[in-house]
């Protein structure tokens, strides 16, 4: 994992994003994907909103996914393992990039068929705590025709971008304050564990 952390740090310091296939062992990913799917089938997800606090609103014309927040005090053993990994990454980023990261928050996300999230950045305008976005995809046998690509725009450009298939085990990490991105419409259920390294304690 040290080599992957080093690659993440180098990428964050240069172009601001990185894509790493097969980030974690397949058995671990299968079990984590089962937890996400089970929570979805149990009705534990809610419609995602736009904004925060009093400004939080459901606006399905902007984003139409569903989320299930994972609370640190109620994590499963698998989720605790992932939280620890991200905490290790947090410490390494602080050691090299001096971002002052202090915590991690995350949720399962699902995009049902037809769902999308239009172009945005992850850092809120009113509070600037989110600094690094971390996405882990949990979709086995995902094909290009399934849609749901993450489109990442190069800094300062509205036309130059790359597209990432949400393939099983792919990890995407990028700066929350600078990287504009969007999720193209998915044609089947699309699961991820999405989170942020933050500058405050949550």
pLDDT at 137: 99
- 157 in helix, strand or coil? coil
The span from the CA of 51 to the CA of 11, in Å, is 28
- Round to whole Å and give the CA distance between 87 and 53: 26
Quick one: pLDDT at residue 38? 97
Q: How far is CA 190 from CA 3, 52, 130, 141, 149, in A?
A: 28, 24, 23, 11, 10
pLDDT at 156 over 90: no
The number of domains in the chain is 1
Report the C-alpha gap between 1 and 11 in whole angstroms.
15
120 pLDDT tier (thresholds 50, 70, 90): confident
What's the CATH code of the domain at 168? Answer: 2.60.120.620
22-58 pLDDT, tens digit per residue, is: 999 999 999 999 999 999 999 999 998 776 665 667 7
pTM for the whole structure = 0.93
Residue 84 pLDDT > 90: yes
CA distances from 196 to 71, 101, 115, 193 (A): 13, 10, 22, 10
Terminal C-alpha separation, the chain: 26
Question: Domain range for residue 156?
Answer: 2-198
Residue 161 has a pLDDT of 96
């Amino acid at each position: 994992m040290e080599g992957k952390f080093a690659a993440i740090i180098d990428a964050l310091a240069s172009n601001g994003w990185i894509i790493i296939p097969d980030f974690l062992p397949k058995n671990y990913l299968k079990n984590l994907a089962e937890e996400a799917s089970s929570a979805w089938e149990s009705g534990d997800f809610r419609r995602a909103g736009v904004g925060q606090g009093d400004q939080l609103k459901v606006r399905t014309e902007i984003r139409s996914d569903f989320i299930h927040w994972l609370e640190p005090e109620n994590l499963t053993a698998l989720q605790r393992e992932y939280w620890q990994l991200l905490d290790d990454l947090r410490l390494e980023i602080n050691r090299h990039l001096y971002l002052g990261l202090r915590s991690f928050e995350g949720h399962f996300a699902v995009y049902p068929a037809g769902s999308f999230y239009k172009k945005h950045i992850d850092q809120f305008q009113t509070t600037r705590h989110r600094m690094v976005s971390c996405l882990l995809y949990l979709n086995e046998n995902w094909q290009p025709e399934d849609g749901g690509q993450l489109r990442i725009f190069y800094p300062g450009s509205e036309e130059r971008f790359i597209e990432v298939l949400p393939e099983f085990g792919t990890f995407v990490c990028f700066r929350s304050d600078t990287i504009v991105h969007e999720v193209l419409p998915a044609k089947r259920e699309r699961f991820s564990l999405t989170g942020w390294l933050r500058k405050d304690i949550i």
